[in-house]
Amino acid sequence: MINFNIFILDCIFAALKENYMSRICQITGKKVMVGNNVSHAMNKNKRKFYPNLQTKKFFVPETGETVILKVSANAIRTINKNGIASVLSKAINNGNILL
């Protein structure tokens, strides 16, 4: 009976590790912010502000590889402006992405 319970826990943790995806941009580091909904009567209720994250594939012509990143809309604009290679190198230096 104990082995069966351990097996179930191992399966649950394995599924959590596979499906765990935090809401953080891998390029800019934007993440969830906490604030208030404020009604007309100035009642305040806690809420979350989520970043506009998209999962996108980027082709890196220098290495010939395709990279899948979870990036914000602002980061997509930065990649279009500066190029994926320079943005990835800056993100690695800033510690936002681990390759």
* Per-residue pLDDT, 13: 37
Tell me if the pTM is above 0.75. Answer: no
Give all domains of the chain, ordered by start, each with its CATH number.
2-94 (2.30.170.40)
The pLDDT mean for the chain works out to 82
Provide the residue type at 32 as one letter.
V
Q: What is the pLDDT of residues 37-89, one digit of tens each?
A: 999 999 999 999 999 999 999 999 988 999 999 999 999 999 999 999 999 88
Report which of residues 27 and 2 the model is more confident about. 27
Measured distance CA(22)–CA(15) in Å, rounded: 15
Q: What is the dihedral of CA 32, 34, 37, 41, to 10 degrees?
A: -170
